[in-house]
Copies of this chain bind each other. A is one copy, B any other.
Amino acid sequence: MDKPILGTNVLTQVGILVHDVEKAAQDYADFFGVEKPPIFQTGTLEEAQTRYMGEPTEARCKQAFFHVGPNVDIELIEPDHNPSTWRRDLDEKGEGFHHIAFVIDGMKAMNVKLEELGMPLLQKGEYPGGRYAYHDANHNLKLILELLENDKK
């Protein structure tokens, strides 16, 4: 057996696109029997340095998280109307599944490795304490893969 390409096989997130994160977060909270979690907004272009298909984009999203196991969250995502992988998939496919995520080390090297393996970089950005990247893994994994890298404390 070889090493995992990402250095991990531990799923950390299932991302779900929604039109209205306030309503969806309440519906999930009711379903899971928990209080409605806080809604976060991703950073501005200046803060997040968001790139979609290689170009800067003003795109931001609102997010809500639900723990569904010791290592895994469901992430609800309401994108704004600027260009992003979130907006495109919501427009083209409607509400529902967007990505699965794994926590990795060494983002830039991993971006290069996945691109070489035929999983092109779709979007990337910074968040407080780390950064993310979405890669198109439809040809092999039949989904979008998100990498999350958290700075060492």
Contacts and interface: CB of A to CB of B under 8 A. Distances in A.
A52 interface: no
Interface in A1-17: 1-6, 9-11, 14, 16-17
What number of copies of this chain does the assembly contain? 2
Nearest to A102: B68
Contacts of A24: 140, 142
5 contacts: A5-B31, A11-B72, A16-B142, A24-B140, A70-B71
Contact of A68 (B1, B11, B27, B67): B11
Contacts of A93: 93
Interface string A1-42: 111111001110010111000001001101111110000000
